[in-house]
């Protein structure tokens, strides 16, 4: 009887998320991307391949005996950046910093490299988008020249590795990962295969040498990080650098952090001297006026563990055109504003069905948490009735469809920040807990009662 021949068939893998499939499909069932499954080789279709025990990199030890001396965060000297990272840069960590073009990523990271060079020795900045002379000009402008700060302009991974061997830096900044290619991997420059190969190689070197690596990443027109989704899984920290093009305010957020909180925020202000941290940014989001105006309300938002005062402004105008009323939003969630409009009209008795409603935050800050519902509702009602809210008042609380005002997290810290900024009246959900000295608290169970009380 002739021996049985086991035919092998090629396997397929998604270039975006790494999903493996035995057959080709037009759409990846994992990440829903089209045309990303490519053939990666053949595999036996009959049974599993036997795996024998092999050598290990180190013996397994009780977790309490694992040393932590080489994994402590080292501060960079930039307080707002360290706040987002959870204390500083961890040796061997790989960070991915992404943001829109011109938002200030390269300027901030050049300042970070300068501070690290002053405190911890050699740092290496590799630019694949600019020449060394262009980066030198920026360094002179922000005062980031230092003999321990090394600079190179390369687009080949092998050349980057040679610079690492020569300089032996404690920090590597690669700007950007999409501009560097690996000659050992096929694929277009900046494609998913190339980006994954470059990031994997630098991650392995970072772990083996205890060197911190910061990768600058591009973003798509939708604001998502360009490249394969596996890139975000591969790195230890993912940081987004946001900011309006016409505003000097920049927000740094950690969307993933293996060494600290993933919801912290850092505030920076960009100017001629570079990117400067703003340790107390509440004054940037609140207007300074001597006379109160209708349609303005102040709330206290929580960004990570930091309470921030933010102002919400609204304008309600009569729809004289006879068409559908307009709803325009800037810095707020449009869907949530539509819900609050309906609650204010139905539960608060404020007619809005035939009026144009405009709402915006002050200073370019984005307010998305439900705790700002109360402030948005009060701003809309104040604009509709053309009556200003009391001076020195803050309001926060989640508003439900029934008009009930629900509790939110961090009430104690919100009240403490309002009192520190000089506010004297707070409209809050029931049972707020201890109240800071000098602050009068009004507990509101539902939206209708607060509107009746204020107007």
pTM of the predicted model as reported, rounded to 2 decimal places: 0.77
DSSP string, 211-273: -EEEEEE-B-TTSPBSS-THHHHHSSEEEEEE--TT-SEEEEEEEEESSS-SS-EEEEEEETT
pLDDT surpasses 90 at 357:
yes
**What mean pLDDT is predicted for residues 322-351?**
90
Checking DSSP bridges between strand 237-242 and strand 212-217, what pairing results, if any? Answer: unpaired
pLDDT at residue 30, rounded to an integer = 80
The tokens for 324 are 């559908």
pLDDT at residue 6, rounded to an integer = 44
Strands (E), 132-190: 149-153, 171-175
Q: Residue 398 forms beta bridges with which residues?
A: 406
pLDDT at residue 295, rounded to an integer = 94
Please enumerate, by residue number, every residue annotated as part of a binding site. 99-106
CB atoms within 10 A of CB 112: 25
CA-CA distance, 150 to 169, in Å (whole number)? 9
261-281 pLDDT, tens digit per residue, is: 887 888 888 887 788 888 888
Residue 224 backbone class (left: φ over 0; alpha: ψ -120 to 50; beta: rest): beta
**What mean pLDDT is predicted for residues 406-411?**
92
Q: Is 226 in contact with 219 (CB distance < 8 Å)?
A: yes
Please enumerate, by residue number, every residue annotated as part of a binding site for ATP. 99-106
Split at pLDDT 50, 70, 90, the class of 321 is low
Split at pLDDT 50, 70, 90, the class of 69 is low
pLDDT surpasses 80 at 185:
yes
At the topology level of CATH, where does 284-454 sit? Ribosomal Protein S5; domain 2 (3.30.230)
CATH architecture of the domain with range 79-279: 3-Layer(aba) Sandwich (3.40)
CA-CA distance, 46 to 88, in Å (whole number)? 51
Residue 364 backbone class (left: φ over 0; alpha: ψ -120 to 50; beta: rest): left
Split at pLDDT 50, 70, 90, the class of 322 is low
pLDDT at residue 44, rounded to an integer = 43
pLDDT at residue 1, rounded to an integer = 47
pLDDT surpasses 50 at 7:
no
Domain boundaries, the chain: 11-41, 79-279, 284-454
CA-CA distance, 64 to 71, in Å (whole number)? 14
223-241 pLDDT, tens digit per residue, is: 777 777 778 888 999 999 8
For residue 437, give every residue at least 6 positions away whose Cβ sits within 8 Å of its Cβ, in sequence order, or none: 419
**What mean pLDDT is predicted for residues 369-379?**
95
Rounded CA Rg of the chain: 27
pLDDT surpasses 80 at 9:
no
């Amino acid at each position: 009887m002739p021996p049985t021949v086991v035919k092998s068939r090629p396997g397929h893998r998604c270039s975006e998320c790494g999903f493996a499939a035995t057959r080709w499909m037009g759409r990846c069932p994992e990440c829903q991307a089209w045309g990303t499954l490519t053939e990666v080789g053949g595999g036996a279709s009959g049974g599993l391949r036997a795996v024998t025990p092999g050598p290990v990199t180190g013996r397994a030890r009780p977790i309490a005996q694992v040393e932590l001396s080489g994994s402590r965060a080292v501060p960079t000297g930039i307080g707002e950046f360290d706040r987002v990272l959870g204390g500083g840069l961890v040796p061997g960590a790989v960070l991915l910093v992404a943001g829109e073009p011109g938002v200030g990523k390269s300027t901030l990271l050049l300042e970070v490299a300068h501070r690290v060079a002053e405190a911890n020795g050699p740092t290496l900045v590799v630019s694949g988008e600019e020449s060394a002379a262009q980066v030198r000009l920026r360094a002179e402008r922000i005062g980031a020249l230092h003999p321990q700060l090394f600079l190179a302009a390369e687009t080949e991974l092998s050349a980057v590795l040679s610079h690492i061997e020569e300089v032996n830096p404690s920090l590597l900044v690669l700007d950007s990962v999409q501009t560097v290619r690996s000659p050992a991997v096929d694929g277009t420059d900046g494609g998913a295969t190339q980006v994954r190969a470059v990031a994997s190689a630098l991650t392995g070197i970072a772990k083996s040498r205890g060197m911190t690596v910061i990768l600058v990443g591009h973003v798509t027109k939708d604001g998502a990080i360009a490249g394969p989704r596996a890139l975000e899984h591969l790195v230890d920290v993912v940081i987004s650098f946001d900011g309006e093009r016409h505003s000097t305010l920049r927000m740094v957020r950690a969307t993933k952090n293996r060494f600290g909180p993933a919801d912290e925020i850092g505030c920076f202000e960009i100017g001629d001297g570079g990117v400067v941290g703003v340790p107390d940014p509440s004054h940037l989001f609140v207007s300074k006026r001597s006379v109160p105006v209708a349609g303005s309300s102040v709330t206290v938002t929580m960004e990570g563990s930091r309470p921030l005062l933010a102002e919400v402004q609204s304008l309600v105008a009569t729809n004289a055109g006879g068409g559908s009323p307009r709803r325009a939003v800037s810095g707020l969630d449009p869907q949530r504003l539509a819900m609050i409009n309906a609650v204010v009209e139905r539960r608060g008795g404020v007619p809005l069905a035939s009026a144009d409603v405009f709402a915006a935050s002050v200073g370019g800050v984005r307010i998305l948490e439900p705790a700002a519902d109360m402030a948005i509702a009060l701003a809309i009602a104040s604009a509709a009735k053309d009556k200003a809210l009391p001076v020195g008042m803050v309001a926060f609380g989640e508003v439900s469809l029934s008009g009930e005002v629900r509790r939110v997290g961090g009430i104690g810290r919100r009240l403490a920040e309002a009192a520190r900024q000089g506010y004297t009246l707070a409209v809050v959900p029931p049972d707020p807990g201890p109240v800071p000295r000098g602050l009068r608290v009004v507990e509101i169970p539902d939206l209708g009662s607060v509107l009746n009380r204020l107007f």
